[in-house]
Structure 1
Amino acid sequence: MNGTMINSFSGIKTHQFGLDSLANNIANVNTLGYRENQPQFESLFASSMDSLNANSAINNDYNYGVTKASNAISTRSGSYKNSDGELDVAYEGKGWFVVGENKEGSFVIKDDGYESKQKTYFTRDGSFLRDGEGYIVNSSGHYMYGVDLGKISNNVFTTSNNSDEDFAKLGTGELKPLQIPQDLYFKPVLTTKVDLSINLNKKQNTTNATQVYSLPNGSFDEERFLNADLNGFSANGETLDATTFDKLLITLRHNGHNQDIELRYGRDFRTFNELKNALLERAGLGLDLTRLPDGSISKAGLKLSNATYSTKDISISGNLAEKLGIAGRNDSFASGIDSAYSPSKTYSRGDIINAQGIVFAYTGESGNSNPLEDSTNWEVLDTSALGEWQERTSYQVGELINHQGNVYKRIESSGNSNPLEGGWEQVLPSARNLPQEFTEGTNYAPKTIVSYQGRLYERISEGNSNPREDKIGWRALDTHSFESAYLEVPSYQSNVEVYDESGAKFLLQSHYYLLNSADVTTNPRVNERWEVRTQLFNQDGTIALGEASTHEIAFDENNNPITQPITIAFGDGEITYNIAGSADRRSANRLYQDSQILQTEQDGRSEGHLQDLRIDRDGIIFLSFTNGAFEAMGRVGISAFVNDQGLKKVGGNLFEMSEIVSGGDTYISSGKPLLGWSGQHLRFGSVLYKHLETSNVDVGSALTDLIVMQRGYSMNAKAFTTGDDLIKEAINLKR
């Protein structure tokens, strides 16, 4: 046989191999995860033709035929298409899914090698599903290997409550079959910790102050209320905002002259008690709460009444008065002591009369002397209705005024001279005696006047009964009053469900009440304080369990929360409750956002059942349950190799590692398997959930190569025929 036939025969066989390989690629053009083969050739052998010219500088090598060199696989990625399969995944990058034949097997990737209990395969076909036992398998029944966090046992999912531990396990290289039963049950988890992030808007959700300032027996805590800061209250649904609306202006009129008394929040008062003292001292006004006929308080409001013996002409104004709803005027703000002096009347001890605006009490036994002239039998009780002398004011002859502790009478023509400089006559000492406060159990004589709960009472007969209860022994004097709108407190209520060991739900309820919004006197850092009352209830919130806990949350000048966690007794244990915020969001007091729960984090859960699952780009498998739990259960196994060409096809879209022997040593042709992730994240690519990778065959190139390979085959066949014809011709020459 001549060389032509030998060479062309090897060419025919080799191109047949190429055609077979290309035909196989085209046949698998729609095979998921298929890796294209790339046939490669090499010359069969060569020799040197020394007979031509051994000493020539020209190469005289001669090749004999061609043979198959390799049938390499293409490692480029295929196309990715959307899929509806529950567990369909695709891998984008360098690496392979890991599958095995045995559900009891494992595949451990180490830094110095690997361990495998059975045959392990690698594939890019990500069309996985669950079998009857819930194991994740491919269409051939091979089990998906991955990291199992060990949270599933006997169809029960148990949370670890330790994300750091989960992340550590997800970074390991111990791969085993993954199982997700369809009837997976989430085991209830006892709540031991609740972190709550809330926004508290002081301009919303007001509650009447009686609900906030109440004692355990349900009665109103007057002392605590009166010592509260005004700036923590609202009226008519709007916050008082006393730092801005801070003015109370009281105008007293005396004989046509005005006396203005200005009281300001932050300067003259902050609490209701401080306001009460300022009103009494500066304007002779009493401050009390609005009450029902029996003296109890149904809704908290303020009542301003005349606390002196004198009748006043008064008006109240100012932005704070308008906010409170007490702005207005009363021309005869009476005490009820309106008996004017009469020279023809005989008076006895204890009688109280009004003479030219001055209130007197008769101290003698009996008589009718003029109180302005008889200081022996008359006691001056109150001269405040006369008003104080004022500069640049013209006074009429006979007019009385107070000045530096004495009462003066204008005796010369009208003018505005100082009483100490002439034109005035000193009449008697000034005085402002207030009716005594009623004291329970004290025996009072007839005609005694007392002040009780913002109202004046006169004793009719001797005794020690309560003025409000004893309608016969006491006479209520006819007093006028200014009554404010009902006072409210900005509030909010939060509810968080917590769970016991059996998964039963309970309600952790907190009520928030604004204490004040400018407590700079006690803590310069604080600009808003809220009282919080927290208590555990049954699921419906109708039955209280245990005692309520009272704590606070405040906000500094940068609106950062200031509070401390508290513990709430729960069953045999307790719940650590923190309202400063969750890990992602702090509590706030933003006015542009409604009062609401921003975020809740807790370690407890009720029972639940598997609802859905999801796989993220790092291959971590998350399970969603009907109780709202969303937790990782493991991750898809990914392995990479230094030399993907060293993997061997075994059919069914599977590859396996193979060994080669060199110099007496055995090596893995693909290189040892490499773990596809470092910690939580993948190193060489990413997983695409609900996608599948198609074949990586380039159809256009495959058809072109098929034509080229066909032409090569035909040309080699022609060469073989030519060689055959030459041999026949040589044989014919011999004949």
Structure 2
Amino acid sequence: MSLIKSLNAGVSGLKSFQTKMDTIGNNIANVDTTGFKSSRVTFSELMNENIGGNGGGESAPSLSNQVGLGVRVASVDRDFSQGTIENTGKTTDLAIEGDGYFMINDGTQDLMTRAGNFTFNQNGNLVDQSGNHVQGYNANQSGNIIGGGTTENIQVDFENALAPRQTDEVNLAGNMNANTSIRQIVSAQSAFTDGSGNIAASGTDINDLSQTASPLAAGDTVEMEITTNDGTGTETATFTYGAGNDGTTLGEMADSFNSGLTEGEVSLVDGMLMLRSGELGSSDFDVASLEVATGSGDINFPGFDVTQQGETNKQTMSTTVYDDLGKGHTLMLDFTQVAENEWSYQAKFADGEPINNGETGTVTFDEMGQVDSGGNFSIDFEPGNGAEATSFEVELGDSSQGTSFTQYSGANTAKVVNQDGYTQGSLVDINIDGDGRVQGVYDNGQNKNLAQLALGEVQNEDGLEMVGGGLFRATSAAGEVFIDTADSLADSSINAGSLEGSNVDLAQEFTEMITSQRAYQSSARVISTSDEMLTEAVNLKR
């Protein structure tokens, strides 16, 4: 009854291709299922039956005559390749790029999934659509996360406020204009000229000036009296014509005056005497008189006017600093240029909080415009309202952060770039970064790490058992399960606001469907043909 074998072979084909159609149908049905991994069916031949020896000895081309008994399903394999990443915009929708699985606990066991459509439940637990808890590592009170150990349910307390932090450091950066404060300048009302009416030069002899009515004789003196910078007194400088080292020219007279003055500087510019105060800023510096004091000579010296008022300008920077109760206090720092490369500062608070230490001080710069001294200073103040005395450090520039505090001849750009204190904050939003860190965003502008998702990997993905709902269980065939954070696993990252789509290829599935249909039909034809042949064999008796 060899026809029975062909019937059984046809039946095995029907069963096997029915299984393949079941698999194809399941793949197509899940073409839009988040994180779905498609499957495929592979076949293998059933055992063969030997129907007799070859009868030809060792020289025969075939040593046995075998007929197959049909086909069977060898395996149903799952394709774990990456699905398409689809943007959703929802913060708790997560997709894994690369290897790894989200770890889920259903209350009794840890499971694995690529479907990251999570949400927070009423208790602040991050769960999947079936209410299973997403696993990871929760942060401590300081926001520190220690991964790699035993995982726990990720939970966020949405009602918990972020405690305030006292200001410990204030950072300043930018440029202080080296020309912020200016000196007072006093200039002659007219220029000296020589006998030809030309502008006199520094080498012109005083007796050759058109302003000299009677020549000076050796030993005659000329006195310049100035009003000091603070306006409380006068200072006199004397030039002796033709005697000692004083000389006889205009330039030599200016040099002689300079050697006798301590609060001003005399120069000759385009034939005019010009005097600069010895100090920056607002000044009473002026020329009280310039005349021939002794001798027979006579010179018509011009009068003098203040052509540039001295100004002491300041650069003010402000920020809010916080005490240990989180109350803000408006700090103002006034930097005033008091000399070349030297600035004084004064600290004060807008609401008048008393400063115990560090209210005033000095900052100096070197010739390259870099801070030379006073780059760091402390301020202690009494915040009041039940808070303890607060102390913080003011740092001018920070090379480790790439910021600098300079004094160049340019625009004033110095400002407070950072202070590390803040007031109490309420949680207003959640962000999840590429390493799976769940970060709380607070209404005081601060961010804090709250938790970090765990990812798992197995040695053999084909050893994962599907348990429904996009969840896999690691069987013994999967090998060891490695659980850690995304930043500790090679080539794995997490995309927030995205989901991994199904990896089903519809074109491939429909092609497989056509071949399966034809194979199924062919197996049915084998059965119907074998049946007809059996009928003919039975009819031989008639």
TM-score (norm 2): 0.76
Distance 2:480 2:459 in 1: 8
| 1:327-367 alpha-carbon deviations (Å, 9 max, x no partner) | xxxxxx8859xxxxxxxxxxxxxxxxxxxx876xxxxxxxx
Whichever residue aligns with residue 196 of structure 1, its letter is N
Distance 1:609 1:200 in 2: 36
Name which of 181, 197, 215 aligns with 2:172.
197
Which residue in the other structure is 1:470 paired with? Answer: none
Q: Compute the displacement of 1:187 (Å).
A: 1.0
1:655 aligns with 2:472: yes
What is the RMSD computed on CA atoms of the aligned residues? 4.0
Which residue in the other structure is 2:431 paired with? Answer: 614
- Does the 8 Å CA contact 2:189/2:303 hold for their aligned counterparts? no
Q: Compute the displacement of 1:634 (Å).
A: 2.3
- Does the 8 Å CA contact 2:42/2:75 hold for their aligned counterparts? yes
Which residue in the other structure is 1:397 paired with? Answer: none
Segments of 5+ residues of structure 2 without an aligned counterpart are 204-220, 241-253, 255-265, 278-286, 382-387
Q: Compute the displacement of 1:76 (Å).
A: 1.1
Aligned with 2:534: secondary structure? helix
Which residue in the other structure is 1:672 paired with? Answer: 480
Whichever residue aligns with residue 536 of structure 2, its letter is E
1:549 aligns with 2:497: no
Distance 1:713 1:358, change over 3 A: closer
Name which of 454, 463, 468 aligns with 1:637.
454
Greater C-alpha radius of gyration: 1
Aligned with 2:478: secondary structure? coil
Distance 1:30 1:253, change over 3 A: closer
Distance 1:564 1:647, change over 3 A: same
**Structure 1, 21-30 or 501-510: larger mean CA deviation:** 501-510
Distance 1:691 1:569 in 2: 49
1:150 aligns with 2:157: no
1:45 aligns with 2:35: no
Name which of 66, 74, 96 aligns with 2:71.
66
1:532 aligns with 2:532: no
Distance 1:59 1:581 in 2: 88
Distance 1:621 1:64, change over 3 A: same
Q: Compute the displacement of 1:68 (Å).
A: 1.4
Q: Compute the displacement of 1:250 (Å).
A: 11
Q: Compute the displacement of 1:90 (Å).
A: 0.8
Distance 1:38 1:490 in 2: 81
Name which of 684, 702, 707 aligns with 2:514.
707
Q: Compute the displacement of 1:19 (Å).
A: 0.3
Distance 1:256 1:645, change over 3 A: same
Matches within 5 A, 1:414-563: 482-483=305-306, 485-517=308-340, 528-535=341-348, 537=349, 540-556=350-366, 559-562=369-372, 563=374
Q: Compute the displacement of 1:611 (Å).
A: 2.2
Which residue in the other structure is 1:683 paired with? Answer: 490
Distance 2:222 2:479 in 1: 96
Distance 1:555 1:634, change over 3 A: farther
Name which of 234, 247, 268 aligns with 2:182.
234
Name which of 414, 418, 423 aligns with 1:596.
414
| 1:271-329 alpha-carbon deviations (Å, 9 max, x no partner) | xxxxxxxxxx99623242375xxx7xxxxxxx99987899xxx99863994988xxxxx
Which residue in the other structure is 2:249 paired with? Answer: none
1:77 aligns with 2:82: yes
1:176 aligns with 2:181: no
Matches within 5 A, 1:314-333: 318=269, 321=274
Matches within 5 A, 1:359-370: none
Distance 1:6 1:248 in 2: 126
Matches within 5 A, 1:231-380: 233-234=181-182, 284-289=224-229, 318=269, 321=274
Aligned with 1:734: secondary structure? coil
Segments of 5+ residues of structure 1 without an aligned counterpart are 103-117, 152-158, 161-165, 207-232, 241-246, 263-280, 296-302, 325-332, 337-356, 360-381, 388-478, 518-527, 659-667
Distance 1:28 1:305, change over 3 A: same
Distance 1:335 1:556, change over 3 A: closer
Distance 1:306 1:569, change over 3 A: closer
Distance 1:185 1:669 in 2: 47
Name which of 435, 442, 449 aligns with 1:625.
442
| 1:701-735 alpha-carbon deviations (Å, 9 max, x no partner) | 11111111111111111111122222222222234
**Structure 1, 53-62 or 490-499: larger mean CA deviation:** 53-62
Distance 1:685 1:674 in 2: 13
- Does the 8 Å CA contact 1:306/1:481 hold for their aligned counterparts? no
Which residue in the other structure is 1:92 paired with? Answer: 97
Distance 2:507 2:222 in 1: 101
Q: How many pairs align?
A: 474
- Does the 8 Å CA contact 1:190/1:605 hold for their aligned counterparts? yes
Distance 2:509 2:311 in 1: 82
Aligned with 1:708: secondary structure? helix
Which residue in the other structure is 1:27 paired with? Answer: 29
Q: Compute the displacement of 1:674 (Å).
A: 2.2
Q: Compute the displacement of 1:624 (Å).
A: 1.4
Distance 1:723 1:559 in 2: 103
Whichever residue aligns with residue 131 of structure 2, its letter is G
Distance 1:543 1:556 in 2: 34
- Does the 8 Å CA contact 2:173/2:415 hold for their aligned counterparts? yes
Distance 1:358 1:689, change over 3 A: closer
Distance 1:557 1:642 in 2: 65
Whichever residue aligns with residue 171 of structure 2, its letter is L
Distance 1:9 1:323, change over 3 A: farther
- Does the 8 Å CA contact 1:250/1:316 hold for their aligned counterparts? no
Distance 1:622 1:35 in 2: 30
Q: Compute the displacement of 1:637 (Å).
A: 1.5
